Each structure stands twice: as C-alpha cells, then as structure tokens.
Structure 1
C-alpha cells in the first residue's frame, strides 16, 4: 500500500505481474438516455456495474473515450456522433463514482488511484469483448487511458491524450509546480482536509463552477451545461472517489492493496509505445500549454503534438472538431 512512509520502499521493489485484474465477461443492457450520446447502457465487471454510451456501428473500429473531473461524458456529445458518422464505434463510460456507475459490493475500497482507473478501462473492454481500441481522453479519464495504454499496450492501437503524458510521478510529489499552477490546483490541497470533504459534499455544483471557470476561461458554458454535469455527481460514491483521487496523489491516503503491483509498475513511468497525438489547450487554466518537448521521453512510438487555440481544459467539449481530428490523425499515424 503506497503512502509517504512506504513510498521509498516501493520504488526499489520493481515491477510485478500486471495480469489478473480484468473483470468477467457480461452482457450489456441499455437503460435511460444521454444527450447526444444515445441510451445509457450497463455492463458488469468484477467490481463495478459500469454505465456507458455506445455510439456508431457495432462492427466499427472502437474508440474508447474518457471524461475528466468535474465533468461527464457530455464532454463528447459532439465528438462521439462525429466519429460514428465516420464509421467508428465510440464507447464513453462513466468513471467510477460518477453517474449511474455503481460498485457491486459495499465493502470494495472506493479508490480513485491511477491503477484503479486504468484497470477499469481493461475490465470494461473485457466485458464488452473489445480486443483493442483507440483511446482518447483528458484529466481523470485520460489518466486511466494512459495507464491502460502503458501497462496493456496490446489493447491500445493509438492514444489521444490532452496535456501529454498523464501518469503522475509520485516520486516528485514534494517538488513544487510553478506558483500559478499550484494556485490553479487549490482543490488538491482543500481536499486533504475534512473542511474540503464537506465543501465537496455540500457545495458540489458551486465547486464545479469555480473549477470550470478557472480551467476554461474562454468557454462560455451555460447553466444547463453545468446542471447536466452536476447530475452526474449524484452518486453515492462520488465524494469518496474524488477525495481519494487527490489524497492518494499527494501520498496522504493509502491505495487499494489489489492495485499494489500495478502501482509499483507505474512508479517506473512506463512509456507509451503506440502512436500518440497529444493536445494542449492554448487557454487551459489548469495545465499550461507546452510545445510537447518535455514529455517526449515518455512516448516511444510515433507522436504528434498540437496546441489548440481557444481551448481550455475540457478540450473535447470546447473544441470538438480538434479532438475528432486528433482521433482521425492517430488512426493514420505510423
């Protein structure tokens, strides 16, 4: 279990086997509906009943998209149909702790650590009998897809990643970012406190609004946009998952022991070996745009980097055409 006391020891242990975490096959069942994304479907894995949208022809090449926090699959309301029109099958899951996704058992560790998010990707693919896919995402969803691509490279044929390489380096947890970046990430530290936990639970929508405004200063979102996303936070595990994400990231909370072997592997900062297109929003208020050079060492395969004008942190929602173009580009990249 990783925390500040055990972290140094874990670095020296090295990588362990990464198999055995995929969930069992299960039949998908559609329910409800989602704006621009078709009905909400459900599939059961080892730990979760995962809610997801499935857009496009069933025999199309699969594109698996991951949403961020505090956002929702509506980030892909324009991206998914656009890709479906080009013959792709687009799968957009709700992250653990979001929307209709539910844990199967009350005693399962409510973890939001990177290895958990990455394992959910592989478990979902196994349950849907998807052998491989193009991955695309940002923020939390992008992090899980980066993890899955790095640890299970045979499952990913191409990666679109907003803000470059998204597997956090916990060895650098005590190294400060530029002050402006630290200020943008105020909630990382707010959530380390009980006051922050209560703030998240009691002011969920208001907190999301503040983060959206900071993350995307040029995005003119509506109150309905915020309401649609906030509805996805009405989940019994939302607060626990969000708090664990940020406490684990600061080594202030232990991880789920089931992911210890995977977390040790992630400490080596595994490379992305398949073709990749990375994107930065020119107006991203959370992660400042870069030329991609600093993260080049993490990409062993072909890689192209773009800075997207006027885009903030919620890039696929703010500039959907740029995200669609990136998926089409990575499919051609060799």
Structure 2
C-alpha cells in the first residue's frame, strides 16, 4: 500500500499520519512494538471497499512529536484519539480500529467520547473489565514479562537501546511464522530513536505510575475503564503468543449489548499482517452495518 504522510492538526497535538484512499474515514491506531504502516495490507482491502484509511502515529512515536509526551496514561492516548476523530470529521463520528495499545484507545474513547465513534474495532487486547483475571494467571504473567521489564528505569532503556533483538523476539513469539518483511526495518527505526523508545516506555510505566497520568483528565478515569454504552467488535488471533484467545472467552461481559467477539483462525497478534483479507472482511461487515 502506498501511503501519503500528512499532519492532522488538533487542539491537543499535530499528529503525523499515513493516509490512503478516498471515502468515509477509518482511523487505525497502532500499538507496540509497531508502526502505522503495518496496517498497509489491511488498508488495501479497506481502500478497495471505498474507504479512506488514516493511520496516525501514537503521540511521541514520530520525530515531530518526540518532545511532546509529558504523560503516558491510556486516557491521554484516548483523548488524542477523540481529538483526531473530531479534526477529521467535526460533524459526524468516525469508524475506528485499534490494535494492541490502539485497542485501549478505541475502548476508552468509546466509553468517554462515544459521540466521536461510529463503529469501533479492537484487536489483540480484551476489554478492560477482563484484564484483572488475565493478569492473575501466572502463565500470562510470564508472557507479559516485557511489561515488568519496562518498569525498571535505565535497565529497560539499556536492553532496548543496545539492539532490537527483544523487538524481534516479541514479533516472532506473538505472531509465530510471520515474516514482517519491510516492516521490520520500519519498526526498528522507531525504537532505534532513543527519544521515541523512551516515550513507548512511558506508556507502559503509565499503567502503574500515576505521576504519568494527566491530572486534567483525572475526573474521566473511572468512566474510561467501564464498558462503553456502544457496541464494539473485538478480534483475537487464534495463534496469538502474547494474549491467547482463551482470555477473550468472557470478553462480552465487559462489552455493551450488540458487541461481537471473533477469533481469527491462522492469525497471531499482528493479525492485520497474518490474515489481512479475513480481518478486512469481518471489519467491513461490522462497519458497514
């Protein structure tokens, strides 16, 4: 997919983004360790179906925003998602897909700013309400070893700045058998920039360190973690080595009525690359209703 890079100007931040196609907007938010261009194979199908795909860089994940990440909490990122949606479509809600960290953006945006979301899709991460049970499982704690490593100041930076073998390891275990091809170089370039790497670590540390939470958004925090009032499509990869599909079994308990949870056969964590045609089919069925 040949993307064009643009800048989306919002009242919060100017977001660099990759765009392709014409028609109703589908905003795609990436996760870690990732790059917006990995939405390319999925975007080809969405563009062919008459959609304009907009894939922003997360705050602090592009050189233009490297110095603009004072906070790393999930609510900050969701507020960014709402601002981007408003800038792209001031008078109507937009369709939105979130993968990994991006799934948290879509879920929290749906709960706090539902007027900005027409149809939402989350990929590879279950709803917030199901996370405590998942995190209490020692086997899952082991799979999430990188999250605990990232809490260690200086050590995490040293591990990731020395080389990107950990990034390659996560990709190979999360989507077994996937050859990332040209995306490997893109992802390495992002986390090879110490400024962008530190910003990614701030997101993970923001899960536990309240000093990284924006106090102005604090009154919205409780609302952001409960099920949204609007239905969501939740996708999981059958072969995901980060969060296996069994942790999505109770996902509907954390979702609004009318939501749907789907397991993608033959897909790992990076399902937009593993099975782009099947993911596109399911997504288009969802957003076209």
Q: After TM superposition, is the score higher than 0.5?
A: yes
For residue 50 of structure 1, give the secondary structure of its aligned residue in structure 2.
strand
1:109 deviates by: 4.8
The answer for the alignment partner of 2:234 in structure 1 is 278
Tell me which protein shows more helix as a share of its residues.
2
Separation in structure 2 between the aligned mates of residue 225 and residue 85 of structure 1, nearest angstrom: 22
**Structure 2: tracts of 5 or more residues without a match:** none
Cα distance in 2 for residues equivalent to 1:70 and 1:109: 17
CA gap 1:101/1:317 in 2 versus in 1, 3 angstroms = farther
Partner of 2:222: 264
The 1-side partners of 2:27 and 2:187 are apart by: 20
1:244 paired residue among 195, 198, 202: 202
Match among 210, 220, 226 for residue 169 of structure 2: 210
SS at match of 2:246: coil
Distance 1:169 1:254 in 2: 23
Distance 2:69 2:189 in 1: 24
Aligned to 1:85: 48
Contact 1:111 1:255 in 2 (8 A): yes
Q: CA RMSD of the aligned region, Å?
A: 2.5
The structural deviation recorded for 1:298 is 2.0
- Residues in 1 aligned to 2:109 and 2:254: alpha-carbon distance in whole angstroms: 14
Q: Deviation per CA, 1:266-305, whole angstroms, max 9, x where unpaired? A: 2xx3223334222110110000103844121222231222
Deviations along 1:167-193, one digit per CA (max 9) or x if unpaired, are: 4789x49x8432221111111111111
Match of 1:11 in 2: none
Asked if 2 retains the 8 angstrom alpha-carbon contact of 1:281 and 1:313, the reply is: yes
**Contact kept in structure 1, 2:12 and 2:83, CA below 8 Å:** no
Is contact 1:110–1:240 with CA below 8 Å preserved after alignment?
A: no
Distance 1:251 1:169 in 2: 21
- CA separation in 2, counterparts of 1:54 and 1:81? 11
Match 1:298 to one of 230, 241, 254: 254
- Determine whether 1:156 maps to 2:98: no
Q: TM-score under structure 2 normalisation?
A: 0.89
Could you say which residue in structure 1 is the equivalent of 2:16?
A: 51
1:128 paired to 2:84:
no
Q: How does 1:165-244 map to 2 (within 5 A)?
A: 165-167=126-128, 172=132, 176-194=135-153, 195-203=155-163, 205-222=164-181, 224-235=182-193, 237-244=195-202
Give the secondary structure class of the aligned counterpart of 1:220.
coil
State the distance in 1 between where 2:239 and 2:165 align.
22
Match of 2:32 in 1: 69
How many residues in Structure 1 have an aligned counterpart in Structure 2? 287
Matched, 1:112 2:112: no
Assess if the C-alpha contact under 8 Å between 2:252 and 2:261 holds in 1: no
5+ unaligned residues in a row in structure 1: which ranges? Answer: 1-35
